[in-house]
Amino acid sequence: MRRCVSKMEFRFLVDYYEKIEGTTKRLEMTDYLVDLFKKTPINLLDKVVYLTSANLYPEFVGVELGMADKLALKAVSLATGLKIRELEKMYQERGDIGIVGEEAIEKKVQTSFFAKPLTVKEVYEKLDKLARASGPSSMDMKIRILSGLLSDATKKEARYLLRFVTGKLRLGIRAMTIIDALAIAYTGSKENRGLLERAYNIHPDLGLIARTVAEKGVKGLEEVRVEVGVPLMSMLCQRIPTIEEAFEKMGGKVLLEYKYDGERMQCHISHGKIKIFSRRLEDITNPYPDVVKHLSESVLAEEAILDGECVAFNQDTGEFLPFQELMHRRRKYDVEEAIKKYPAYLFLFDCLYVNGEDLTLKPLLYRKEKLKEIVKETDYIKLARYKVLSSPEEAHLFFDEAIESGCEGLIAKSIEENSIYRAGVRGWSWIKLKRTYQSKMIEPVDLVAVGAFAGRGRRAGTYGALLMAVYDQKRDVFKTICKLGSGFTDEDLNNLPNIFRQYVIDHRHPSVESKIDADIWFTPSVVLEVIGDEITLSPTHTCGLDLIKKETGLAIRFPRFTGRWRWDKSSQEATTEDEIIEMYNAQLKTVQA
């Protein structure tokens, strides 16, 4: 193994960047990288790898250079003596800050007498300082650091430095290309890329992988471990059109789990400290202080890495909200407000590491057991709902239940011996089963309130949701179709017990057919106008039961009260079961059309 410790001029590096930028062939790009990595002194290899992938650190560190163009132009002005206005005009004409820098160096009206060739080490260290500068004087500091570098830079170096600091390096070199090049440069063959890839997937730090393989060869990669605080690449799903095919692919016995529609969260817990990473390895701990708190109350292990999906919910009814609602968390200034308005559940579905034990190579059911052992479920932290099933028929019912609960479908997960956690891999061990159609419910419907559920939290003392039904005129009965908890004003809400007082009875009304047990029952009388996202199959509601599919009824997904009390309508004038079936069929037709 090479052990040389030496200098490398920055000029040498940017020559490669120019060549890479000039090629349109992927293989040629890899060849240039192989050549570059072979000629890079080992002590600089991690830095060269980060710089080449347009970063200064591993991606998950999340310190970004992203210097504003205006600031960068100020630094050019300081280094060259050219006026800011002139530089801005050049930028408008050229549209590439790198080219502006290059031309500015050419025209420069002041030369530095002490200019010396830039080295990779020096450039890296200064950029590191620039990236970390914070506080009130940080802008000036950034400008000074960059202008210092530009004073010593050649034209070509200025081009790449400026593109780099403004986040526009655009060499388009992805992690997998770097891994290919490292495999060839340091193990002699691309054959070994799988080993590098596995190391990268469980510890996505390209600089570390590069130095390890360069210093210790393929064997050294075994030392690259799962580490709390370093996000693993997420395991991903394949897609398959039917549940039957998923069973065939997975050996007849399958773990089926709700596919929640929210944001993926990889939670790292270490002795009371908690970090949350997104699917793209970003640190998203800050927008989720509530999840951090709930995790700290729920996870019993000292150290753990847990995989899950966070879903916003309606605090009054507990129902899931569409995934977009979580995005309110990403607006920096109103996190507190968003937490109040859109609290979130975290559904944990996998356990990758517990108290020093790497579980990624253990089968799924083992990991599920561990998860159960170390997580105490609370109001906010839950275990993802799953069933191990052997028949597609049962799976269909479970699928409908998932959709009706506000999920996107199911994920079929292999429980075979080799069902390890394949970090970063989109393989056949996890298969997503989503609906093949989705269409909008355009018309509101008029539904009868037949019961209610006691409220909790903000709704304690009033109703959390109403149980709504359609009318079956042939048999003169009311059949349930949804729980309704959204769309009410605060005033409406507080008033619900008053409005319904005169209709309350102490048992289910004989004309109501319901599989659900309400807390309070009404004589079916009051009609409300309701709009939803769509009509879906449902194992819990009695509307359309057995008419479209055995043991299955119909439900309204994401129902909301429009605000119109239909006092003008009697319960017999409510939307009928037949009308709902017609709407359901029309929905299917529009999709097929």
Chain residues in the site for ligand ATP (CB under 6 A): 234, 236-237, 257-260, 264, 279, 309, 349, 384, 411, 432
Q: Which is nearer to ligand ATP, 259 or 329 (CB)?
A: 259
Shortest distance in whole angstroms from residue 236 CB to ligand ATP? 5
Rank residues 160 and 260 by Cβ distance to ligand ATP and give the closer one.
260
Toward ligand ATP, which CB reaches closer, 48 or 237?
237
Q: How far is the CB of 382 from ligand ATP (least distance, A)?
A: 11
Q: What is the dihedral of CA 547, 551, 553, 559, to 10 degrees?
A: -170
Q: CB nearer to ligand ATP: give 427 or 457.
A: 427
How many angstroms separate the CA atoms of 560 and 577, rounded? 19
The position carrying tokens 């009206």 is: 109
Measured from the CB atom, is 209 or 433 closer to ligand ATP? Answer: 433
Contacts of 226 (CB under 8 A, 6+ apart): 202, 203, 232, 305, 352, 353, 358, 360
Q: Which residues contact 76 (CB under 8 A, 6 or more apart)?
A: 82, 87, 100, 101, 104, 147, 150, 158, 162
CB 87 within 8 A of CB 77: yes
Write down the residue that tokens 């479209």 correspond to: 548
Q: Provide the minimum distance between the beta carbon of 443 and ligand ATP in the complex, in angstroms, as a whole number.
A: 29
* C-beta closer to ligand ATP: residue 118 or 411: 411
Q: How many CA atoms lie within 13 Å of 440's alpha carbon, on the beta-carbon side?
A: 3
Instruction: Give the single-character DSSP code of 119.
Output: B
Least CB distance to ligand ATP at residue 403 (A): 13
259 is a catalytic site residue = yes
Nearer to ligand ATP, 349 or 463 (CB): 349
CB 527 within 8 A of CB 446: yes
Nearest to 205 by CA among 50, 34, 425, 44: 50
Q: How far apart are CA 565 and CA 364, in angstroms?
A: 50
Considering the complex, state which of residue 202 and residue 433 has its C-beta at the smaller distance from ligand ATP: 433
3-state secondary structure of 554: strand
In the bound state with ligand ATP, the residue whose beta carbon lies nearer, of 405 and 523, is 405
Query: 275: which residues sit within 8 A by CB, 6+ positions away?
Result: 229, 267, 268, 283, 285
Q: Rounded to an integer, what distance in angstroms lies between the CA atom of residue 520 and that of residue 32?
A: 73
Least CB distance to ligand ATP at residue 107 (A): 47
Of 108, 259, 434, 479, the catalytic one is: 259
Q: Which residue has the tokens 């790198």?
A: 98
Inter-CA distances, 82 with 78, 87, 463, 472, Å: 8, 7, 70, 81
The CB-of-307 to ligand ATP minimum distance in angstroms stands at 7
Residue nearest to ligand ATP (CB): 264
Q: Which residues pair with 413 in a beta bridge?
A: 255, 430
Helix axes 155-165, 120-132, angle to 10 degrees: 30
Residues in the chain: 593
- DSSP 8-class letter at 549: B
Nearest distance in Å: CB 396, ligand ATP:
18
Q: How far is the CB of 316 from ligand ATP (least distance, A)?
A: 24
Of 493, 421, 416, 419, nearest to 452 by C-alpha is 493
Active site residues: 259
